[in-house]
Structures are given as C-alpha cells and as structure tokens.
A and B are shown apart, each in its own frame.
Chain A
Amino acid sequence: MSLDDELRRVFDDERLSVPVRPGSEWALVAAARRRKYRTGALAVTGGVLAVLTVVGGAVGLVAHEPDPAPGPAGPPPVVVSSTPPGEPAPQRPQSPRTRPAPPVQDHEPQRVVPDREPPRTTPEPTRELPSILREPGSPLTGGVEPTDPGGAPSTSPEHPMSGPATSKPAAGAPRR
C-alpha cells in the first residue's frame, strides 16, 4: 500500500471524528456575543482614554505656556507718543523729562536744548564749561545741573531732537 493510500485511509477513518456535545452551538454563540461586547467595550474605553489624553495634553500645554514678556521696550514709547503735546504724561508724573519732551520737537529746539543740556554738562562742572555757560547769563545752568545727578539718561545730548520722539528715551538711548 502506498503512502498516499495510507494517508487517505487514515483521514477517512471514522475514529477521527470528535463527538459533539448537544447544545454546543449556543455555547459558541454566547461566547461570540461576550467577545463582541468585550471588544466593543475595549474600543470605547480606548477611545475615551485617547480623547482624554489629547484634551489633557492640550490643557497642559496651554497652562504651561509662558506669559507674554512684561516689558518689551518697543510698545510703551509708541503709546506715549500719541498723547497730546500739551498734556503731561499721567503715567509718570514724577519724571520731569516727559513734560518738555513731546511739544518742542520741531518748534522750540532752543527751549528744549537747555533742559536737555544739563546731562551733557553734568560730568564737566569741574572744567571750565560752567563759566562759559554762565557768561551769556543763562539762568538754566545753575538750576538744572544739581537736579539731575543721575545723568538724565532719558535724553541723548548729542541728539536733542530724538528725545521728544519717545517719552521714555532712556530705554533706547544710545548714550551709554
């Protein structure tokens, strides 16, 4: 007998059959139903977890996002320059520089220059400059210098016209 015949004989053997328990089809139907519910529940749970993860991540990113920088040097000068020339800046009433700055930009350079000049003259009172300034009899020299010991960083002495453009010239002044 050949191997092919032997194999066919074995596979046709009645003993290869497995007895089937009655009602096993309903057991399989119930098992499939449980598996279906389990798969559905798993999918729903996974979806909810994924959505929660995405939402939580987004909220976390927004919460940890740094606040905008407190003092960018650019915006404040623009705001103050829009104020009417006659009014003193209400934000900084203590700074005397804001008062003369805006109005005299084009019309009264002579009046502004004396106010701005004390910084230029402050480091040189020991030299002969005070005497030169006092000779014409200008009353500004004596009064302004001591009032601004800090060197009045708000105005650039070499560019007196650039000072009025911004109410806070100290920030961008190239003086130092």
Chain B
Amino acid sequence: MASTEDDFAEFVRAALPGLLRYGHALTGNPHDAADLVQAVLEKVGVRWTKISADCSDPSAYVRKAMVNTHVSRWRRSRRETLLAEFPDVPAAEGRDRLEAEPVWTALRALPPRQRAVVVLRYYEGLSELEIAETLGISCGTVKSQSSKALTTLRRQLGPQLDGGEG
C-alpha cells in the first residue's frame, strides 16, 4: 500500500507540470486546468496499481483521460442555468498571461472538442488516427472538427495571418 502510494506520488511529482500545462492548453485557463488535473489524478490514484501495471506510458493514459473528462464536463456544464447577476462577488482574478495573444484568445473561443483536436494535433503532435483513438471518435470526425476549428481561427485572425489560407 505504502509503496504503491510512493510510486504514485513519484509519478505525480514528475508529470504534474506537464499535465498542468497540457490542461491549460486544453481548458484555456489555469484554474480549470488545476481542477481538471486534480480530478483526473484522483481517479487514476484509486486505480494506480492496475494502471501502472497495464499501461506502458501512464502519462499518455492520464492525458487521454483529461481530454475525455474535459469534454464530458463541458457537456454537463453547458446545461447549467446562467444567471444575469452573480450571487456572490467574485474574487479578484488575475489576468491570464496569454490574454494578449490573439491566437490564444481565438483558441479559447472554440468549442471544447474542436479545441481538444487542435491541442492534440499541435501540442501533442498526434496524427489524425491517434487523435481519433484518443477521443474515441472516427477519423472523419477528427478531420471535420479540425477543419471547422481551423476555419474559425482563420476567420477570427484573418488579417494577422500571412500565409494562413489553405
């Protein structure tokens, strides 16, 4: 038991910075990234013995779980009732350091699945087939989602891109 926890703690210590960065790219802000990483790592920690024995690369397993959890969470939260006024006064929120980047801002405006496809393609460097396996969708869906995302980005960034057409 203790050795299993030590093993898991060692994995978390090594993988946490990369997972948070990946979560930041996936969710669009560092707070949601921290929540996502914590939720996924809690689940993984419960089954760490099996996962570490079965998976050759647990970090890839965790990243895949993060993508699916993020998309599922978005599906649930989009049915939430939106209020015109906040019930509580929000705390002072630090500005996202990437807000000045037009590409980052346009990327955050994408739907989660399209953003996940873009992140897996340009951040992870996965092929379309690998993206399809990771998200559990067909290769055609990956192509269509990627095409829609890039079209949206080009439309929003239009004049700032030089050779972005095509």
Contacts and interface: CB of A to CB of B under 8 A. Distances in A.
A63 interface: no
A125 B21 CA distance: 116
Contacts of A69: none
Given A32-B44, A32-B48, A39-B46, 9 more contacts: A11-B119, A13-B98, A18-B20, A18-B34, A28-B38, A29-B8, A29-B45, A31-B42, A36-B46
Interface in B124-162: 150, 153-154, 157, 161-162
Secondary structure call for the B interface: helix
Interface string B1-29: 00001001110110011001101110000
B163 A1 contact: yes
Given A1-B163, A3-B164, A11-B119, A28 B103 contact: no
Contacts of A10: 98, 101, 103-104, 107
A2 B33 CA distance: 27
A32 B48 CA distance: 9
28 contacts: A2-B163, A2-B164, A3-B154, A6-B164, A7-B103, A10-B98, A10-B101, A11-B25, A11-B119, A11-B122, A13-B98, A16-B25, A18-B20, A25-B9, A25-B10, A28-B9, A28-B38, A28-B41, A28-B45, A29-B9, A31-B38, A31-B45, A32-B41, A33-B5, A35-B43, A35-B46, A36-B45, A39-B46
Given A15-B97, A29-B12, A6 B46 contact: no
A17 to B, nearest CB: 5
Contacts, number: 98
Contact of B161 (A3, A11, A17, A39): A3
Contact of A35 (B42, B107, B123, B153): B42
Q: Determine the interface band of chain A, counting residues with CB < 8 A from chain B.
A: 20 to 34
Given A3-B154, A31-B45, A32-B42, A25 B16 contact: yes
